[in-house]
Amino acid sequence: MNEVKIGLCQMMVEKTSKQDNVKKARNMINSAVDQGAEIVVLPEMFNCPYNNKHFREYGESSLKDETISMLSEVSKEKNIYLVGGSIPELYEDKVYNSSFIFNNEGKLIGKHRKMHLFDIDIKNGVKFKESEVLTPGNKATIIDTKWGKMGVAICYDIRFPELIRIMALEGAKVVFIPAAFNMTTGPVHWDLSFRARALDNQIYMVGVSPARNVNYSYVAYGNSLVVDPWGKIINKLDEKEGILVQSINLDYIDEVRESLPLLKHRRTDLYKIDYEIKQE
């Protein structure tokens, strides 16, 4: 059986300092490994309060910088693959929301820059505009592991089915989504989004959120989860800080696809749509 144990670190991001967050992240990674995790995933913006005013201040640009170097060191030390949630990345005077991914030798094997920026204004709900500070990435991210191909995207990216479909067609068996849904969108859309993408593509979807801090300006939903290729939530945390280690059977993907061959039944000859929106 082709199994892998995944560790989800639902971390309470502190407002005190980057150093405190980096130290906590390392401790949680170590704890997940102690529980058997072979791939560990951190949440979105785990070294930085989720607020535009902090992104440039907490940003990093080099593998030698504090957060990124820790990710490299601990992945090698603990012999794990590590999806480093996301942090603000500084590059050519721009700021990206980026996930740095390392293999068990501490080598950078992928970097995903959030492609779809979270610019929303929900009536009587949340208002946020990442594009005031952040620059969007422009490519899907698929990494090679000893268990096969896996994808990484960030938060709002999950709302665009085309992106996850591309990853599945390219062979990704699992897609990891470091994310920080909020208390407006989370209760309604969090489970639904992950279940839908898993079901549509018959893959595992893994969502890792920060823990919920009701005393901060942006309140994350939490509820980190693992969804199987049948669209079933197989394990989930609540809103509090915690670690979830879940074993997944990658052979189950083939079983699901053989019994319900959605991808084989696609009619690509008919899916020709003009996406241009013409203005009157």
Catalytic residue positions, numbered: 44, 114, 155
CA atoms within 13 A on the CB side of 150: 26
Number of Cβ within 10 Å of residue 144's Cβ equals 12
Amino acid at 27: N
Q: Which helix (H) or strand (E) holds 225?
A: strand 225-227
| Coil, helix or strand at residue 17 | coil
Residue 161 CB partners (closer than 8 Å, separation 6+): 196, 197, 200
Residue 138 CB partners (closer than 8 Å, separation 6+): 113, 115
* DSSP H stretches of helix in the chain: 18-34, 52-58, 66-78, 161-169, 186-201, 251-259
Q: How far apart are alpha carbons 10 and 38 in whole angstroms?
A: 17
